Amino acid sequence: MNTIALIGAQWGDEGKGKVIDILASTADYVVRATGGSNAGHTVVSGGKTYKLHLIPSGILYPSAVNIIGNGVVVDPKVVLEEMSELEAQGVSMKNLSIDLRAHVVMPYHKELDELAEAAKGDNAIGTTKRGIGPCYADKSDRIGIRMIDLIQPEVFARKLKENLKFKNDIITKVYGGKPLDYAAILDEYNGYAKKLQPFTCDTGVMLYDAIKSGKRVIFEGAQGTLLDLDSGTYPFVTSSHPITGGFCAGAGVGPTAIKECLGIAKSYTTRVGAGPFPTELNDGVGKHLLEVGKEFGTTTGRARRCGWLDAVILRLAVRLNGLTSLAVNKLDTLTGLKKLKIATKYMRDGKEVTHFPADISLLEGCTPVYEEFDGWTEDISGCKKFEDLPKAAQDYIKAIERLAECRVSMIGVGPDREQRIDR
């Protein structure tokens, strides 16, 4: 078997797009299985920057088949815009497939995402407002509209009518919003259906055959472990399972289909949106990470919250995802900081906490315990080998391996695919 799952080890934006693009050069298939257009994956290749939301990051390689699996929630407008933008840059869509079972993000999902966030006030999650939560809620409620429904005009018209009546009641009567127009949505989505129909198929069957015949398959994670609906910082999470277990349900494969699990982390921690963040820094170091790391969201443009690396989180990621190794990106962003810190555990009410707590109210009472390291000032963005790194940078990576209890197999020293060290 020749398969690998790539998963975010923190709160998303760990540089998954970059690592997937690197591995995709030898891939036959690249598969997205969870999330939707809340994801923003950056690929820098040949001097060009590509920002991908729904289309897998293997699309730049004509040899790779790119699959949007059944577990993804597909916004047809976003995926079509992304396809046009990529085509305008000379990227072919010939090898793109979308699963028939994938659920469709509808205008009322986006409207309800906005309205629910506004109604929550100070308790707002800080979602991307892409309709992700409401779409997954409909899926669980068994009233969702799937790609297979979208491409059958009569089925779609019926399901839209049934759903819209109920959704408009919620929009107007619960939130005092304006109702959405049935005819306008029907017309808009029938247009999308015509364009997307040729890309739809049963991708689970495709993958099964591919894996059986020894093809190289990469599962592309979206979001990150701490945004997982079950194991993340609930309720400040997304509505899917962005952990390796999520690939099985979301791509339609069994657990034995995944051979290796590579966790992607940054050399520090970031998070977009609300929710607890034990190692967050609101000082000069936080400012350094934000500015030097250019920590602004790929999807929403929001400034990311920044803080020290947290080994309690990394150990959770290793355990939940069965990680076989870690890629650590953005080591270059730490250059110039005199001292570096990694949280090894937390203290709460005078007691040690070594595992990530189940309840965020417990997490909020946790104070990180740090191990301190020397920084470095040398420019590392051109380093190709581990031995090229300053000793302090090597020691920092070795400390990550010790504290996360996982081997570091790749180090990112810049945004370009070439700016990396393979170990």
Please calculate the CA angle 372-233-121 and round it to the nearest 5 degrees. 115
- Chosen residue from 298, 300, 324, 394 binding Mg ion by CB under 5 A: 298
Q: Does residue 293 interact with Mg ion by CB under 5 A?
A: no
Instruction: For residue 99, state whether it binds Mg ion (rule: CB under 5 A).
Output: no
Distance CA 107, CA 99 (A): 20
Decide which of ligand GDP, ligand IMO, Mg ion, none touches 390; Cβ closer than 5 to 8 Å per partner kind.
none
CA distance 340 to 10: 18
**C-alpha dist (Å) from residue 335 to 10, 204, 306:** 21, 44, 15
330 within 8 A of 410, measured Cβ to Cβ? no
Indicate which single residue of 13, 28, 111, 228 sits in contact with ligand GDP (rule: CB under 6 A): 13
Give min distance, CB of 233 to ligand GDP, in A.
Answer: 18
Gyration radius of the chain's alpha carbons: 21
The helix or strand, by DSSP H or E, that contains position 244, with its residue range, turns out to be helix 244-251
C-alpha closest to that of 140 among 172, 103, 174: 103
Q: Could you say which residues in the range 293-332 bind ligand IMO, by CB under 6 A?
A: 298
Is the Cβ of residue 127 or residue 335 nearer to ligand IMO in the bound state? 127
Active site residue 13: yes
Q: Does 238 bind ligand IMO (CB under 6 A)?
A: yes
Question: Distance (Å, rounded) from C-alpha 222 to C-alpha 161?
Answer: 32
Closest distance of CB 366 from ligand GDP, Å: 26
Does residue number 40 form part of the binding site for Mg ion (CB under 5 A)?
yes
Bridge partners, 317 (sequence order):
none
Per CB under 5 A, which region of 8-16, 54-62, 155-163, 243-251 contacts Mg ion?
A: 8-16
Sketch the per residue contact string, 105 through 134, with ligand IMO: x for CB under 6 A, - otherwise. --------------------xxxx-x-xx-
Shortest Cβ 382–ligand GDP spacing (Å): 12
| CA–CA gap between residue 344 and residue 97 (Å, rounded) | 43
Q: Least distance from C-beta 242 to ligand IMO, angstroms?
A: 8
- Cβ atoms 227, 11 nearer than 8 A: yes
Nearer to ligand GDP, 279 or 299 (CB): 299
Q: Determine which one of 28, 41, 310, 332 is catalytic.
A: 41
Shortest distance, position 317 Cβ to Mg ion, whole Å: 16
Look up residue 423 and give its two tokens: 């170990």
Q: Which residue has the tokens 């443009």?
A: 301
Q: Is 239 helix (H, G, I), strand (E, B) or coil?
A: coil
330 binds, among Mg ion, ligand GDP, ligand IMO, none (CB under 5 to 8 A by kind): ligand GDP
Residues 216-235 that bind ligand IMO (CB under 6 A): 222-224, 227
Q: Which residue, 17 or 357, has its beta carbon nearer to ligand IMO?
A: 17
Contacts of 5 (CB under 8 A, 6+ apart): 218, 219, 221, 244, 247, 258, 260, 261, 262, 321
Residue 58 interacts, among ligand GDP, Mg ion, ligand IMO, none and using kind-specific CB cut-offs from 5 to 8 Å, with none
Q: Does 415 bind ligand GDP (CB under 6 A)?
A: yes
For residues 215 and 28, is the Cβ–Cβ distance under 8 A? yes
Which residues within the stretch 27-46 sit at the binding site for ligand GDP (CB under 6 A)? 40-42, 44
Strands 200-201 and 305-307: unpaired
Q: What would the two tokens of residue 418 be?
A: 């070439």
Which residue has the CB atom at the shortest distance from ligand GDP?
412
DSSP summary character for residue 14:
S
Binding mask 318-347 for ligand GDP (x = CB under 6 A): -----------xx-xx--------------
Q: Which stretch binds Mg ion (CB under 5 A): 36-44, 65-73, 221-229, 239-247?
A: 36-44
| E-state strands within 276-401 | 305-307, 309-310, 325-329, 339-348, 351-353, 367-374
> Using the rule CB under 6 A, is 8 a contact of ligand IMO?
yes
H/E element, 286 = helix 284-292
Which residues are part of the catalytic machinery? 13, 41
Residues that bind ligand GDP (CB under 6 A): 8, 12-18, 40-42, 44, 298, 329-330, 332-333, 412-415
Residues that bind ligand IMO (CB under 6 A): 8, 11-13, 38-41, 125-128, 130, 132-133, 222-224, 227, 238-239, 272-273, 298
